[in-house]
């Protein structure tokens, strides 16, 4: 029964051909076999009861990134500073899944406060890529991508600030969808950069992503930035791409893309044309400045959001012999990891008197220009397409000493986040890493105008069916998960 997609399982449950409780128990047993360091917490015994439990499951169980508050269950955001914290309320996205009958399989490992592109910044050690356990799964939703790709959960939710859903989906060979900003409530989602953070699904296929989006989307009175979608999405069923126009950025940094990734990208463009889609280049002149603008805006907002972690209200409190200021300093020094501290310092500097307009204000102007570039492109095209990541999954520790190299992993995903538009990553094939080794998944990114999720899902589904990507190495239903857990920490990058 674990081979079924979520849509197939739901149809079988509705038809009385599959017992929902047995299905949930089977997935709980699969999650218990985690050897990827993906689960930080799983409900057991009395802990399985209460606000995170579903009395009579009617939907597929879901794994939840540990950035979502869950009443009575640990919520750490991958940080020591929140160790032992049990929120008094549940995030709206999680509550909607529970109300839909989906039990919570557990809370998932992640880059600390969602700051990273490799999941090496977690205070609880890195998640391992199920395709190759010497490589990263991507980040910051690396745990969410790894459990779906590794057969430890049927689907999962993550968050995307600059690519944190799409990039790990690409590196793990699954589907990752970042909806339009405001389509899903952020209430109860621990904040990193409030003007960018967005919840979204990580699934085995596009139809499962559409199903989850339908559950999650909607306006929430607890989140004034949420507006929902104009209409609840339906399951996509499009078979061709006739009449659709796809834009490739004219200034696409092809030299920065690994040869294998570039080959898969070009092959996918050929598939689009074979399905009847039209491809042409479009100028996005300000997109190349997306990384620079993002790494001013995101740290600035993070420095403000993370000021609340001081050892007084929740989370850990360090022992300090001096006054309350020394306690604050000791708690933040011990509780935050290197990358979080780097972001706080950068953001605080960018917001300081005399520098605000020169840095944060200027970055916001670039953001507006990038949004304008996309708006102009969508006057003539239905979608903009790029590789999701410039490389396949890289080795653990390969980029931790070079934060700039890590940041560039988000080169193709950040512009869509800055513009607030929806984008999806679908597996497009396999490619050999630049340094050689077994072939690994490559993601193909499709972006659409704001609130264009239905058209985006339809096009992604048609392309997915034509590619027929077999996301299972060695002929196994799921990648093997043997091997030992690794621990360590890294720096840089962002999702």
88: three-class secondary structure by DSSP: coil
- Do 406 and 117 meet the contact criterion of CB atoms below 8 Å apart? yes
Rg value, the chain, Cα: 21
Query: Which residue out of 118, 140, 170, 226 is catalytically annotated?
Result: 140
What is the DSSP-derived secondary structure letter of residue 203? E
Contact 130, 478 (CB under 8 A): yes
| 140 part of the active site | yes
Catalytic site residue 65? Answer: yes
59 phi/psi in degrees, rounded to 5: -140, 170
Encoding tokens for residue 449? 């105008």
Cα–Cα distance list, 353 to 323, 357, 359, 407 (Å): 27, 9, 11, 27
Indicate the burial class of 318 (C-beta count within 10 angstroms; 0-12, 13-18, 19 or more).
Answer: middle
CA 431 to chain centre: 22
b (16+ CB within 10 A) / e for 166-185: bbbbbbbbbbbbbbbbbbbb
Question: What is the number of alpha carbons within 13 Å of residue 361 lying toward its C-beta?
Answer: 7
| DSSP collapsed to 3 states, 305-370 | HHHHCCCCCCCCCCCCCCCHHHHHHHHHHHHCCHHHHHHHHHHHHHHCCCCHHHHHHHHHHHHHHH
Residue labelled with tokens 């995170």: 52
The single residue of 117, 122, 164, 185 carrying the catalytic annotation is: 164
By annotation, the residues acting in catalysis are: 65, 140, 164
């Amino acid at each position: 029964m674990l081979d079924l997609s979520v849509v197939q399982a739901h149809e079988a449950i509705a038809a009385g051909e599959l017992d929902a409780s047995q299905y949930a128990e089977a997935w709980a047993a699969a999650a218990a076999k985690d050897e990827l360091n993906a689960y930080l917490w799983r409900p057991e015994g009395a802990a399985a009861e209460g606000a995170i439990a579903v009395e009579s499951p009617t939907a597929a169980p879901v794994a939840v990134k540990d950035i979502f508050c869950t009443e009575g269950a640990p919520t750490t955001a991958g940080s020591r500073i929140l160790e032992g914290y049990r929120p008094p309320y549940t995030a709206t996205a999680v509550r909607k899944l529970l109300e839909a009958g989906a039990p919570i399989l557990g809370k998932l490992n992640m880059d600390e406060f969602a700051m990273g592109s490799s999941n090496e910044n977690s205070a609880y050690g890195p998640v391992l890529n199920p395709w190759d356990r010497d490589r990263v799964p991507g980040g910051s939703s690396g745990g969410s991508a790894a459990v779906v790709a590794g057969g430890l959960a049927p689907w999962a939710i993550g968050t995307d600030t600059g690519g944190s859903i799409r990039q790990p989906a690409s590196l793990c060979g699954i589907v990752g969808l970042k909806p339009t900003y405001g389509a899903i409530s952020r209430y109860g989602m621990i904040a990193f950069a409030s003007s960018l953070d967005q919840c979204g699904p990580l699934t085995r296929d596009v139809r499962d992503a559409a199903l989850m989006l339908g559950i999650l989307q909607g306006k929430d009175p607890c989140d004034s930035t949420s507006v929902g979608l104009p209409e609840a999405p339906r399951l996509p069923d499009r078979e061709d791409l006739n009449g659709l126009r796809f834009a490739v950025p004219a200034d696409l940094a092809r030299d920065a893309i690994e040869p294998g990734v570039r080959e898969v990208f070009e092959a996918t463009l050929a598939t689009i044309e074979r399905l009847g889609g039209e491809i042409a280049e479009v100028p996005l002149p300000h997109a190349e400045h997306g990384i620079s603008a993002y790494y001013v805006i995101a740290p600035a907002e993070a420095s403000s959001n993370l000021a609340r972690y001081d050892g007084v209200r929740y989370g850990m409190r360090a022992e300090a012999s001096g006054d309350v200021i020394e306690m604050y300093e000791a708690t933040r020094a011990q509780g935050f990891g290197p990358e979080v501290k780097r972001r706080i310092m950068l953001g605080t500097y960018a917001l300081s008197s005399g520098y605000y307009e020169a840095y944060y204000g200027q970055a916001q102007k670039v953001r507006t220009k990038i949004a304008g570039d996309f708006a102009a492109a969508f006057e003539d095209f239905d979608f903009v397409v790029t590789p999701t990541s410039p490389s396949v999954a890289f080795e653990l520790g390969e980029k931790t000493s070079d934060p700039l190299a890590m940041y560039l992993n988000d080169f193709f995903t950040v512009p869509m986040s800055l513009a607030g538009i929806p984008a999806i990553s679908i597996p497009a094939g396999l490619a050999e890493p630049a340094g050689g080794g077994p072939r690994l998944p490559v993601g193909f990114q499709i972006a659409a105008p704001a609130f264009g999720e239905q058209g985006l899902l339809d096009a992604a589904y048609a392309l997915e069916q034509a590619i027929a990507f077999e996301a299972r190495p060695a002929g196994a239903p799921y990648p093997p998960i043997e091997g030992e857990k690794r621990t360590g920490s890294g720096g840089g990058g962002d999702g």
